[in-house]
Amino acid sequence: MKRYILVFLIISLISCTKDRKEDFILQDLIPENSELIVITPDLQAFIDNLSSNDLLSKSKFPLKTRLTKELDFLRLLNFKNQTGLAFSNLWSQDVNYTLITQRDSSLIPFDSIKNKSVETIKEGDVEFKSVNIENSKFFLYEKGNSVFITNSKQRILDYDAEEKLLKSPDFKKAFEAADRNKTSVFLQHSKIPDDLSSFFKDLKFPGFQKLANWSSFDLDLEKSNIKINGISLGNTGENFLGIFSNSDPRQSEVGKVCPDDFISYYSLGFSSFEKLYANIKAKDSLNTDYPAVLNHAIEIASVNLKDGSAVVINVHEIEAAKEALAGLGEEIESFRGSSIIEVNEEIEFSNIFKNVMEIENAQFYTIQDNFVIFSSSVEILKKFVTSFQNSDTLANKQYFTDLMSSLSSESSMLFVINSKEFSRAKNENSEDLKFNKNSLAAFQVINEDNFAHLHGIISNSEKAAASNGAEQISSFKIEAPVSSNPYFFRNHRTDQLDIAVQDQNNDLYLISNKGNIFWKKNMDSPITSPICQVDLFKNGNLQLAFSTGYNMEVLDRNGNKVEGYPIRFNQPLTQPLAVFDYDNNRNYRFVLTQNKKVYMVGPKGKAIKGFDFEQAGSDVIKAPKHIRLGNKDYILIAEESGKLNILSRQGKIRVPVKDKIEFSENEWYGYQNSFVSTNPQKDLIKISQNGNVSTNDLGLAENNRIVAYKNDLVYLNENELSINSKIVNLDFGLYTDPQLFTFRNRSLIAITDTQTQKVYVFNDKAELLEGFPVYGTSQVDIANADLDSKLELIVRGEENEILMYEF
């Protein structure tokens, strides 16, 4: 019998203990007017994580200032149990907060707090305390196994009367779905103030207050990221998410065309626009027709840029979409090969997506890949075309792909924000928000039958800020179509680089790297050589040297002829001007060719005495070439007869080559202490400094092109680009000769596909540089054109346009 009594006492004790634990039920103690609720298993750890997040710890904004002032005392308290923080009037100056946790005698360590005062207050039958510690004042109320800390006296009276408590079934569901081991945040959408709702209106989304009844998400705070994952509940037909009924989410692809310097975009993904629009009409009683192209859409996005906005329609079959667009308008302009169409009647997107997406009506559109892009501005459409052709879109940026990898692959709704630019556009304390360059934020909604998944991330990593992809920094036009490749020319006054280029009227321009035309000078004929930079007087003042049909010209940087020039010939020059500077000491040798004749002149335009090679045995078929191998100088002159003259500085044979060479269109280069080129049989020819000739069958095609320097060998074989034996498979196209640029220990290889108008730049490991290809229609020049550490690239764009990129 005693055993039974003992068992009964143990069971009773356990039961009583369980009752006391269940006396604290946090979800039943939330004020009904709460706008935002934070529930955490470890409040102190949560506060520490907030402090260690770079963005939150370094930034200043009004809400943070107010909450820090109100809740600074929390760092002094001992939290051992699950804790809830409920806020109302959150975006006003008078924030109301209530902290709810389980009763614990050690919660407030009064003995260890120096500056404190405690006053007991009694109102009716309600007794509570007014506490002042470290200049923070709050009210403390204990009831049963619960303790409440609040800055609202009325809140305590309501608690005592068990009034105005949250009874929402959807909140209870959200609470049950939350991970108890993580900090969770709950939003009651109908209570969200206009201040927060206006944030989403700036994203062109007007329906945040009606998105759902409740949203909850787990919060993960990392050093450079803030991540959320959760759900929205109560998604009835009255709520916004009802428009996605009977529609599946889709993968967002807007990043493929969205310029990387965007402000924000808001995207809807769906399996059927017809079903989506039927839900929109039913919800908002709309009676607006929509263009047939939308029947082919799987995604629609509103994209905000600094100078305007666009509507991007992602279609699953572009040819069908083009048929649906046929007859809607006429082409008003072709920009970089893309048609810009003006529609006959403005498309009223604002009515089609009323209360769904705040967007402007559109008058123009263009097509890029699988996207139809509408805008009220032609310049905005040109921005999209430029960014797409330059690979300067979000999808080509590693920081964007890293961000999207944190989200689900498919979305019903997706918001992406360029954090720094968005804060600037709102002009709200942007200088106090410490966003790094390329900091992005994304928020994703994936609709289900009666709830939705939520995923979000704010990324503020320093790695993204350090991204150095190619970026177009300027574009300027001359009066007639460009006829030559553009060349950099150093401005000795600014120590920056200007640009020299000729147009089809034979006008030569010198243009600043900001696009200002210094001068324009008409030449007698097209320039036939590269435009070379020389310092004839060895005083740092530079000149431009080049050849035309009958002349060798030297102009100073003001466009004036230098004394002694031009050198005029009665018969045309048959090869481009070659400029030699053997020891880089500005003792220039200018080499000109007329059929068999070779002329070498000095800085003053006079013939050089002591150069004995005046005439070849047959016509010279390439411009003479200076090559230095080790500490020896060689001059190479190729003859139509197959003879290759390898000369000394004095014009005497330095390397006797007995074999007859079949020359290809390729030049000769110095490579690994030998001379290399190719023959028409598609072999690589190698001539040693002793004159030994060897060939290597590389399996080259007939139209192969090579370039080499020291230890770099590059050749283009149809669509295969070989860089130091590493093969890059390019798309089939019409390519310029590859170009090799060296900067200290760095080699870059550039090549342009004139068919698709893409410029590629690779390093010597055959790796495509970030941000390439970019748009361009000619060979390029690469140099450090300004005072920063980045390189610049210039290239012809449209027929009378010069483009400059930075990378």
The rounded distance, in Å, linking the Cα atoms of 420 and 586 is: 49
Q: How many CB atoms lie within 10 A of CB 125?
A: 7
What is the distance of C-alpha 2 from the center of its chain?
Answer: 79
Burial grade of 275 (CB within 10 A; 0-12, 13-18, 19 or more): middle
Q: Which of 1-10, 318-327, 617-626 has the lowest average pLDDT? A: 1-10
User: Which residues, at least 6 apart from 221, have a Cβ–Cβ distance to it below 8 Å?
Assistant: 46, 49, 50, 52, 53, 56
CA neighbor of 355 nearest in space, from 270, 281, 267: 281
**pTM of whole model > 0.85?**
no
Q: How many CB atoms lie within 10 A of CB 22?
A: 9
149 forms beta bridges with 99, 140
User: Which residues, at least 6 apart from 795, have a Cβ–Cβ distance to it below 8 Å?
Assistant: 486, 752, 759, 774, 776, 777, 778, 779, 780, 781, 802, 803, 805
Q: Do 190 and 88 touch, CB atoms closer than 8 A?
A: no
The rounded distance, in Å, linking the Cα atoms of 149 and 285 is: 47
- As a dihedral over the C-alpha atoms of residue 166, residue 172, residue 177, residue 178, rounded to 10 degrees, the angle is 20
**Residue 236 pLDDT grade (very low, low, confident, very high; cuts 50, 70, 90):** low
How high is the pLDDT of residue 285? 66
CA distances from 212 to 11, 186, 197, 449 (A): 45, 12, 13, 13
Q: Do 19 and 25 touch, CB atoms closer than 8 A?
A: no
* Omega of the bond leading into 576 within 30 degrees of 0 (cis): no
Helix crossing, 419-426 with 194-202: angle to 10°? Answer: 120
pLDDT at 421 over 90: no
The tokens for 89 are 């009037």
How high is the pLDDT of residue 458? 92
* Omega of the bond leading into 773 within 30 degrees of 0 (cis): yes
Q: Which residue has the higher pLDDT, 209 or 419?
A: 419
User: Which residues, at least 6 apart from 352, have a Cβ–Cβ distance to it below 8 Å?
Assistant: 277, 286, 288, 290, 294
pLDDT tens digit string along 749-764? 999 999 999 999 999 9
pLDDT tens digit string along 238-257? 678 888 888 899 999 999 99
- Separate counts of helices (H) and strands (E) for the chain: 14, 51
First to last CA, the chain: 89
The tokens for 705 are 């092109």
pLDDT at 656 over 80: yes
Q: Which residue has the higher pLDDT, 174 or 765?
A: 765
The rounded distance, in Å, linking the Cα atoms of 116 and 100 is: 21
pLDDT at 603 over 90: yes
pLDDT at 542 over 90: yes
pLDDT at 12 over 60: no
Interval 601-618 mean pLDDT: 92
Q: Do 229 and 408 touch, CB atoms closer than 8 A?
A: no
- Average pLDDT of the chain is 89
Highest mean pLDDT among 41-55, 195-209, 615-629, 692-706: 615-629
Tokens 């304390």, located at residue: 429
The rounded distance, in Å, linking the Cα atoms of 685 and 675 is: 8
User: Which residues, at least 6 apart from 413, have a Cβ–Cβ distance to it below 8 Å?
Assistant: 205, 266, 267, 268, 269, 444, 445, 447
Q: How many CB atoms lie within 10 A of CB 272?
A: 14
The tokens for 652 are 């005497």
pLDDT tens digit string along 139-177? 999 998 999 999 999 999 999 888 899 988 888 988 988
pLDDT tens digit string along 287-308? 678 899 999 999 999 999 999 9
E-strand ranges in 251-307 read 264-269, 297-305
Burial grade of 540 (CB within 10 A; 0-12, 13-18, 19 or more): exposed
Give the residue extent of every domain in the chain.
23-167, 208-465, 468-484+701-807
Q: How many CB atoms lie within 10 A of CB 743?
A: 11
Strand-pair category, 83-88 with 712-717 = unpaired
3-state SS string for 451-482: EEEEEEEEECCHHHHCCCCCEEEEEEECCCCE
The tokens for 526 are 């097209």
Q: Do 706 and 714 touch, CB atoms closer than 8 A?
A: yes
The rounded distance, in Å, linking the Cα atoms of 245 and 235 is: 10
The rounded distance, in Å, linking the Cα atoms of 653 and 634 is: 9
Share of the chain above pLDDT 90, in %: 66
How high is the pLDDT of residue 360? 86
The rounded distance, in Å, linking the Cα atoms of 442 and 403 is: 8
Strand-pair category, 597-601 with 625-629 = unpaired
Burial grade of 81 (CB within 10 A; 0-12, 13-18, 19 or more): middle
Q: Do 454 and 229 touch, CB atoms closer than 8 A?
A: yes
- Three-state secondary structure call for residue 153: helix
What is the distance of C-alpha 336 from the center of its chain?
Answer: 21
How high is the pLDDT of residue 633? 97
**Residue 224 pLDDT grade (very low, low, confident, very high; cuts 50, 70, 90):** confident
Strand-pair category, 589-594 with 597-601 = antiparallel
Interval 405-433 mean pLDDT: 82
Q: Do 469 and 768 touch, CB atoms closer than 8 A?
A: no
At 78, the amino acid letter reads N
The rounded distance, in Å, linking the Cα atoms of 3 and 754 is: 97
Q: Do 292 and 324 touch, CB atoms closer than 8 A?
A: yes
CA neighbor of 172 nearest in space, from 29, 42, 20: 29
How high is the pLDDT of residue 7? 40
Q: Do 536 and 511 touch, CB atoms closer than 8 A?
A: no
What is the distance of C-alpha 92 from the center of its chain?
Answer: 36
Tokens 């730049």, located at residue: 761
Interval 394-406 mean pLDDT: 91
Interval 607-616 mean pLDDT: 91
**Residue 357 pLDDT grade (very low, low, confident, very high; cuts 50, 70, 90):** confident
Highest mean pLDDT among 46-55, 459-468, 694-703: 694-703
- Three-state secondary structure call for residue 766: coil
pLDDT tens digit string along 625-635? 999 999 999 99
pLDDT tens digit string along 702-720? 889 999 999 999 999 999 9
pLDDT tens digit string along 630-653? 999 999 999 999 999 999 999 999
At 714, the amino acid letter reads V
pLDDT at 674 over 90: yes
Q: Which residue has the higher pLDDT, 358 or 192?
A: 358
Q: Do 29 and 99 touch, CB atoms closer than 8 A?
A: no
How high is the pLDDT of residue 10? 43
Helix (H) or strand (E) holding 52: helix 43-52
**Residue 3 pLDDT grade (very low, low, confident, very high; cuts 50, 70, 90):** very low
- As a dihedral over the C-alpha atoms of residue 470, residue 471, residue 475, residue 480, rounded to 10 degrees, the angle is 30
Q: How many CB atoms lie within 10 A of CB 2?
A: 6
What is the distance of C-alpha 54 from the center of its chain?
Answer: 22
Burial grade of 410 (CB within 10 A; 0-12, 13-18, 19 or more): middle
Tokens 């018969």, located at residue: 571
Interval 99-125 mean pLDDT: 91
CA neighbor of 397 nearest in space, from 334, 468, 457, 449: 468
147 forms beta bridges with 101, 142
- The full length of the chain comes to 807
Phi and psi angles of residue 111, each rounded to the nearest 5 degrees, phi first? -65, -30
